[in-house]
Structure 1
């Protein structure tokens, strides 16, 4: 998802505070000067919009944010061995990332776990697996998730993908041939041609980006074949308005792979919500991912088939 556009950053505010302290000027006057370029907020607004953190490091260093309470990081790397001189063994070629999971871009954590081969969670006794337990699918992928855990206001925890500097996330990306990074967006942000995507029509859309054209093509094909709407962000019919969603930045973790290219999905709110029986809360999504009329499973499996297609053409040296 594209970064928030704010005219005043925390750094500007801190600079104003420092200047006021040095010059003896009223602090409120300095703050007013720092924000003069921006339009006044509506009268009902008492606080400025949240300013995006500069990086994961910036976020992790905030004293008011506590890991395990404000946010969490979960990942899994699968241990493999090659101990026989006469044989060659495979290694994990694809990793799944959800850099804005939990309450930031809802549904991306659950999809990350599902595509990786694990259960997003289940109701007690439902027999649908445990996210921390054994996989529920025969093929597994490494994964990483950063998740917002706040009761509300999780969008304030958003770090733009190209600014991600979490060591585990980057090490996972760098040690795989492919990365599929999952993100959320709003339909109206995409500005798709109204002739094909009218605002009164089906707003559940997946925008496929990243620098790996073969991976993008496989994802568009499989997602469309599974009964969903998917567009390639580089398709000339849509590319003019999808620049912010095309995953082209070289520092985007989806492209920081062994091949310096990967794929990402920008999923509209309507699409993500449709994958759950109850999308309204973390617990609701965990307990109803398999109660969506098979939509979650169809979307998950479409992504897994696309991964398998790409991996089939990648020779292990």
Structure 2
């Protein structure tokens, strides 16, 4: 079988499986007025994480090509019976971390409450930590081949964390030019293309993220708001498909950030080389701009969680 035949066959099977899965998903389809074209994964080498982990046509090896890191915080029956509320409501995801969409791993750990340079160290915020999962490209080149689009992310741990959480915040990277915004747009200007596109089906979460990021000085827009919905290429980055891993929560809704490379690069030190490799990023993350971005996201999470209760 040729590669093109293999890809076509795989897409046919995945389409059928996705349709069957969606039939049993939470009934929030009415909220997804536009299915993101970018989320179809037509340019992906692998049709799912399972495909990536098990492919014999394009084999990969964990620990060499890619790595996975996660943490799920324990909850004890005795503790829950005393406080009467489940306190870990949000999971933070970086499904294209490491060298795929650079900077998202470090942001994932930081927003979850951990040191990006040492995830095994004591939490930076012991009373407010979040579950997290990340898939990281580890190659010296061709990490884009490891990209699995959000709707096809079927890693068991990632799915478990999303399904057992009220909220997810999924972190992604993009290029400003992919968004299709006009050259005449005043903010942000093409000479300073730092922007965060906020998506996902949780409207309250999206609005909190946009507010906190903009208040902290980071240009952000809600891709599903009346102002931006279906304009330019933003629907491709809006996370509006119920199958998107960010929306596979208890409520069928979550949030995601598409962060332009210029924005991500600006969070790590003044030199471009600080951003290009993991060693540079973990050496330069602890600066006021990165911390401000982290804290804005954490404030948005706290705002959303404050209005939620599992009865």
The TM-score bracket by the shorter chain reads 0.7 to 0.9
Contact 2:48/2:148 (8 A) holds in 1: yes
Contact 1:10/1:51 (8 A) holds in 2: no
TM-score when scaled to structure 1?
0.80
Q: Find the aligned partners of 2:246 and 2:91 in 1 and give their Cα distance.
A: 9
Partner of 1:158: 147
Three-state SS of the structure 2 residue aligned to 1:176 is coil
Q: Find the aligned partners of 1:171 and 1:54 in 2 and give their Cα distance.
A: 19
Contact 2:188/2:195 (8 A) holds in 1: no
Deviations 1:156-180 (A, max 9, x none): 1000100111110000000000000
Higher relative contact order (CA 8 A, sep 6+): 2
Between 85-94 and 261-270, report the one with greater CA deviation: 85-94
Between 239-248 and 259-268, report the one with greater CA deviation: 239-248
- The counterpart of 2:71, out of the listed 61, 71, 76, is 76
Q: Find the aligned partners of 2:245 and 2:85 in 1 and give their Cα distance.
A: 26
- The answer to whether residue 139 in structure 2 is matched with residue 147 in structure 1 is no
Three-state SS of the structure 1 residue aligned to 2:276 is coil
Partner of 1:284: 280
Three-state SS of the structure 1 residue aligned to 2:256 is strand
Partner of 2:93: 97
Change (3 A) 1:81 1:263: same
**Aligned length in residues:** 267
Would you tell me which structure has more helix in proportion to its own residues? 2
Three-state SS of the structure 2 residue aligned to 1:192 is coil
- The counterpart of 1:272, out of the listed 264, 275, 292, is 264
- The answer to whether residue 6 in structure 2 is matched with residue 10 in structure 1 is no
- The answer to whether residue 61 in structure 2 is matched with residue 66 in structure 1 is yes
Partner of 1:261: 253
Partner of 1:35: none
Change (3 A) 1:15 1:245: closer
**Superposition RMSD on alpha carbons, in Å?**
2.0
Alignment of 1:128-207 (within 5 A): 130-138=118-126, 139-193=128-182, 194-197=184-187, 199-207=189-197
Three-state SS of the structure 2 residue aligned to 1:279 is helix
Deviation at 1:282, TM superposition (A): 0.9
